Amino acid sequence: MLIRIRRAVIRRRSDQSGQAAVESAIILPLMVFMLLGIVQLTMMHQARLMVDYAAYNACRAGIVWNMDKHRMVSAAVITLLPTFAATDTIMGANDPELGRRPGILETWAKMKVLTMGSAYLSKVFSALGGQGNVDMVHVEILNPTKDMFGSKPEIHFDDFLVGDDQLTRNKKLREATRLTIRLRYLYWMRIPFANWIIHMAWLANEAGIQLSGPIDQPAIRVGAGPISTSIKGEARDLAIGAKVKDSTKPFAEENRTSLFKTLWALGNYADMYFIPMYSTYTMRMQSNPYKKHL
């Protein structure tokens, strides 16, 4: 009798431990993804705030440096360093748990190389007849425009005249000496698995494609009803790449389709996942804007 009771208790414990193992196998991957996703989305939110601050600093550099794009890009790069790597030391430090952490000089050098390299690729792409650019940090001047300069190489930012007959002239001068820029930053997502999921979901949305299925194996449904099928893996990635385009078109003067296809290729073939972030800022010029900088 005691032997049968003991066997029953052992069998129940074995069943419970097996059930717990199955439940853990189902829940654990989802919990891991949720944690990775929370970390990645938090870092993206921090980057979004830094892009706003970088636009402010870029615009501030532009108003005192005659609207020089190189000065504005440099100011934006320095501001965005914390979104790229560690900046809390100058020369770096060795962490006993995380290993070596770069310093601000090393972080600046790496980001500068990436910025210059992406700018060079944009020039090559443009020379081959492509549209758009793939600059990691890109500043576009929205105001003033070339027609505001006329035949003059520069505009005197403080050349206001007194008199009722000068109101129209002064109004045009105020409009021409208001610097408005749009900053675009290609944010590099580096949290494993979460970066791939977020990148694919974003590109699928731009391609007008709806994903379905498990979160670690998203698929595209083709067809309808009983004759429908799922496309996964490389076929799914190629389908997204073929249809991705600038579907929202928030900027009338910029077609981002070439940029999106480039970002798709980097993610699909180089496992580098970038997503563009934008910010716009306006300030009054404190130096003469030069036409050559447009």
pLDDT value of residue 1: 54
Query: What is the pTM (predicted TM-score) of this model?
Result: 0.84
Give the confidence band of 14 by pLDDT, cuts at 50, 70, 90.
low
Cβ 100 vs Cβ 92: under 8 Å:
yes
- Lowest mean pLDDT: which of 121-125, 127-131, 230-234, 237-241? 127-131
Residue 144 lies in a domain: yes
In this prediction, residues 113-132 reach a mean pLDDT of: 80
* Residue 294 neighbours by CB under 8 Å, 6+ apart: 67, 141, 144, 145, 146
- Residue 272, class by beta-carbon neighbours within 10 Å (0-12 exposed, 13-18 middle, 19+ buried)? middle
Whether residue 184 is predicted with pLDDT greater than 90 in this model: the reply is yes
Is residue 134 included in any domain, yes or no?
yes
3-state secondary structure of 66: coil
Residue 10 lies in a domain: no
Burial of 19 (0-12, 13-18, 19+ CB in 10 A): exposed
5 in any annotated domain: no
The H-or-E segment that residue 169 falls in is helix 167-176
Range of the domain at 60: 23-293
Per-residue pLDDT averaged across 14-22, rounded?
61
Token digits of residue 159? 């050349």
- Asked whether residue 2 is domain-assigned, the answer is no
The answer to whether 278 and 184 are in contact (CB under 8 A) is yes
In a domain, 37, yes or no: yes
pLDDT digits (tens, 9 = 90+) for 23-65: 676 777 778 888 998 999 999 999 999 999 999 999 999 999 9
Domain count of the chain? 1
Judge whether residue 131 has pLDDT over 70: no
Percent of the chain residues topping a pLDDT of 90:
34
What is the Cα–Cα distance from 178 to 284, expressed in whole angstroms?
Answer: 5
Q: Tell me which residue has tokens 């496992």.
A: 271
Q: For residue 199, give the nearest of 113, 260, 255, 122 by alpha carbon.
A: 260
Which 3 state secondary structure label does DSSP give 273? strand
